[in-house]
Chains A and B, each alone.
Chain A
């Protein structure tokens, strides 16, 4: 096998093919690959970011929930306190009212009793005077003896 012009032909063919590859084959393929790599990298980064955002949102939700719970507990506590206070106040007022009613009742009873006694005393005095009059009519003048009757009435 001799070395001949085939060698030159092959070299020329090589130059042509290399030029063609450099011009039309390599750039589009390489660009496509690099662009896709970039796309994938971007996608991965975006998904990572989304994951982080989700985590943050979860944390936020938990915090909000806790805050709301605390607030609700506080409100309930306040309401309970207020209810207790109202109940206490009302009880107090009721007590006072009762005391007042009882006191006024007592006072009325006492006044009534005094009046009745006064009445009774007058009736008794009159009765006594009438009795005495009847007794004394025979022997004494009522007018002369009225001071004694008065003294009697006061002693009753």
Chain B
């Protein structure tokens, strides 16, 4: 949407980068990001579970083929990297891959579609929520001023979402470390590597804790950074009038790679981190 009238360029960008929230301060919840994240996650688990329930060992249908291809791919990645027999790792990898892929995929939807739609619905259903300053605005400007139009549909452009995923992986890393090495083994690894001497325990501890914490932080920030940057460029492209059509197309095509690659990297690194946690080294 071109920025004109009462909407400034800065306001437009801010509008698209902010999400509708409920609650205050830390206890606020980003409804758009978390809502879409849950919708997409449910879409994944429900469609895959339905395929799984009807799965035939004979000649599979097309969708079953597609689903099995993904399962095989994830299963192969897990088997290559994670050498301990484990029931949890493959489902974790599959969930992470498909979920992040779907969340990333939402970025290919043009940035104005869902906010505008949500704003229009908001004006129809709940016009009293329109802020007072926007009373004299044109229709489209009113739509964009309506609180419902602050709807973020690409959850992975929200740091909370990516860090939430990374936090889950972090918990898994600690869980796997304790499960496969025991509390003592884990503590020993934290305090006696890389220098196996009692006097260097504090130094080791600092080093190892930084290493440990860096894993989830880098996971979450990598995903967020890539996707957020891409989103900003999508928003900038959306402001250049008709020329946005070819530009958006080109950037979207390029972004397909980022979408797949980031989902794959997140999954692969999760497997690697968990295998590091599970194996003695």
Contact = CB atoms under 8 A, between A and B. Distances in A.
Interface in A17-35: 17-18, 20-22, 24-33, 35
Contacts of A36: 57-58, 60
Interface stretch (A6-14, A71-79, A143-151): A6-14
B159 A25 contact: no
Contacts of B49: 20, 24-25, 28
Chain A: interface secondary structure? Answer: helix
B251 interface: no
Contacts of A11: 164-165, 167-168, 171
Interface string B52-70: 1101111010001001100
Given A11-B167, A17-B99, A29 B160 contact: no
A10 B33 CA distance: 9
A13 B28 contact: no
Give the bracket for the number of chain B residues in contact with chain A.
35 or more
B85 interface: no
Contacts of B48: 21, 25, 29
Contacts, number: 138
Interface in B36-62: 37-38, 41-42, 44-45, 48-49, 51-53, 55-58, 60
Given A25-B45, A29-B55, A30-B71, A3 B91 contact: no
Given A1-B158, A33-B68, A14 B34 contact: no
B165 to A, nearest CB: 6
A13 B90 CA distance: 18
Given A4-B28, A5-B23, A35 B168 contact: no
A5 B165 contact: no
Given A13-B34, A13-B38, A29-B55, A6 B29 contact: yes
A22 B55 contact: no
B158 A18 contact: no
Chain B: interface secondary structure? Answer: helix
Given A6-B30, A10-B37, A25-B48, A17 B68 contact: no
Interface in B163-221: 163-165, 167-168, 171
Contacts of A7: 160-161, 163-164, 167
B71 A18 contact: no
B232 interface: no
A4 B22 CA distance: 11
Contacts of B37: 10, 13
A10 B60 CA distance: 34
A75 B24 CA distance: 110
Given A17-B44, A20-B45, A25 B94 contact: yes
Contacts of B52: 24-29, 32
10 contacts: A4-B26, A5-B27, A7-B160, A7-B161, A24-B53, A25-B91, A26-B90, A30-B90, A32-B55, A36-B57
| Nearest 3 interchain pairs by C-beta | A10-B164, A28-B52, A6-B160
